[in-house]
Amino acid sequence: MWVWAGGILGQRLELGMSETKTASALPTGEEQQAAPRAVHNVRELFELLRAPHPASRVMALKAIQAQPTAALSFGVSQGMDVIDVLIGESERAVGTVEWIEWLGTLQCFDDARVTDFFFNLLTNEEDPFALFIAARHLEHVGWTSIPNGIEALLLSDGNPMRARAASSILKHAPHLSIRARVRLDLLSGGELSASLREAEVSAAWLAELKGCFSSEAMAALQARGEHAWVCLALLWENLNTPIRIWLLRWGSQDFPAMVSGLLPQALRQHNRSLILEALRAIGDVGETLVPADIRSLAAPFLCDETAEVREAAVRAAPPGVDWRAFLASEVNTVVRVASAIELTKTARDEAIPTLIALLDRDNWQERANAAACLASLGPIVVEALKPLIYRGCQNVRAGALRVLVDLKQDEWLAQQPSPHAIRDLDALIR
């Protein structure tokens, strides 16, 4: 039976291959020619598989891939058949392009040794391509029972690609543990039917949130909505800082009426990132939904050494703060802008003198913010601003004009005795 590299089956038990002569062996000007090569016995086949030239080895591998049964029928030499040699010799090609040919050739055999080889590859190899070749073979093995080692590979966080490869083997496996089922559903995009209130299920999700698929776990839990958020909120003490921060952000966006319950715990932690996120959550949720006693917890952070924390504390709107005094001592522009907004909200018309003074600040952000705050107070500021377009520095006059224009005082402005000066200011602020 002849077996050519193209997979043509003849009548004699031989493997036939086309061997290409190298350019160095050819006379000058002659083209390369394909020379037929017949392998008559197992010894000759093993010599080709161990040949020093890669082309000869690949030629033999291609022929075996075409007719694996015929290659195996050659029998044994020195206690080894073709599978033994393929497994042993494949190690010298690890990490090369040729290695894929060796793995592809081994895939052609349904044999316990090949299964063990690919299981060992799945366990120890780091290359993603090799891992998925191993998984592709193992998922078609007729297991009487799935080896425990594969479930351990599924749950390993060391190499995410190994876990994904193991998941393809276990996707139809019965009797998996809850922990393994959660990861399998996570990687397959399925939904776990068991309730998160069950201790073993919640423990499995907590492990996923801390593992290499934490991003996928967060997305899957968010898809489950309010039930998942409440269950995780009840497990606050078991969460690490990144997950707590994510839970606060998720709650602020989707469940603002419930997130207040987590804020006191977050603000009492010593982690500055968590404190900052809790302060921001208070500001995002707003005074309507966050009780005054919780917002008051932000007050101590107005003295924090970090401007970012101070700004978040200001936006959290702790009650009872003298924002006028706070502005007098604060030097950071961003924090001052937030403070002016809080002063406007709490003091209303009593804030007008301070806001007018801010129109003369050197920083344009503070001037623009002061003008916006004055405009937000509405008509009560009009009479205080009208005289300012004729006196004071240019910044104050321009700011006053901006507010008057925003408050629809165009008719009054048109009646003023110095329209040219007003038009100049109007051009300036626009």
Domain that holds residue 244: 239-316
Query: What's the pLDDT score for residue 34?
Result: 42
The answer to whether position 295 is within a domain reads yes
At 144, which amino acid appears? Answer: T
Specify the length of the chain in residues.
Answer: 430
> What residues form DSSP beta bridges with 20?
34
Pick out the chain residues at pLDDT < 70. 1-37, 190-194, 418-430
C-alpha–C-alpha distance, residues 405 and 426, integer Å: 9
Name residue, tokens 């078609």: 140
Residue 79 CB burial class (10 angstroms; 0-12, 13-18, ≥19) = exposed
Contact indicator for 246, 218 with CB cutoff of 8 Å: yes
Closest Cα partner for 263 from 298, 232, 224, 287? 298
Packing angle of the helix pair 214-224, 178-188 (nearest 10 deg): 90
* Both structure tokens of 138: 């193992």
* Both structure tokens of 99: 């290695």
Contact indicator for 206, 235 with CB cutoff of 8 Å: yes
Query: What's the pLDDT score for residue 21?
Result: 47
Name residue, tokens 């002659």: 30
The answer to whether position 267 is within a domain reads yes
3-state secondary structure of 16: strand
The answer to whether position 173 is within a domain reads no
Query: What's the pLDDT score for residue 24?
Result: 41
Closest Cα partner for 245 from 258, 263, 220? 263
The answer to whether position 170 is within a domain reads no
Query: What's the pLDDT score for residue 22?
Result: 42
> How many Cβ atoms sit within 10 Å of the Cβ of residue 162?
24
At 82, which amino acid appears? Answer: V
C-alpha–C-alpha distance, residues 97 and 267, integer Å: 56
* Both structure tokens of 215: 């991003």
The answer to whether position 297 is within a domain reads yes
Name residue, tokens 């000869």: 56
Query: What's the pLDDT score for residue 393?
Result: 84
The answer to whether position 67 is within a domain reads no
Name residue, tokens 């350019």: 23
Closest Cα partner for 319 from 361, 290, 340, 348? 290
The answer to whether position 93 is within a domain reads no
Residue 229 CB burial class (10 angstroms; 0-12, 13-18, ≥19) = buried
Q: DSSP readout, 172-217? A: T-SS--HHHHHHHHHHHT----S-TTSHHHHHHHHHHHHSTTHHHH
The answer to whether position 276 is within a domain reads yes
Query: What's the pLDDT score for residue 10?
Result: 37
Q: What is the pLDDT of residues 127-165, one digit of tens each?
A: 899 999 999 999 888 777 777 789 999 999 999 999 999
For the chain, the distance separating the N- and C-terminal CA atoms, rounded to the nearest angstrom, is 92
Instruction: Kindly tell me the sign of the dihedral angle through the C-alpha atoms of 132, 133, 135, 139.
Output: positive
Strands 34-39 and 14-20: antiparallel
Closest Cα partner for 341 from 316, 304, 306, 308? 316
CA angle 204, 208, 213 (to 5 degrees): 150
The domain tally of the chain equals 1
Q: What is the pLDDT of residues 320-332, one digit of tens each?
A: 999 999 999 999 9
Query: What's the pLDDT score for residue 190?
Result: 63
Contact indicator for 399, 386 with CB cutoff of 8 Å: no
Query: What's the pLDDT score for residue 269?
Result: 85
Closest Cα partner for 123 from 142, 105, 140, 147? 147
C-alpha–C-alpha distance, residues 83 and 110, integer Å: 10
- What are the strands, taking DSSP E only, across 83-205? none
Helix or strand run (H / E) with residue 96: none
Query: What's the pLDDT score for residue 235?
Result: 94
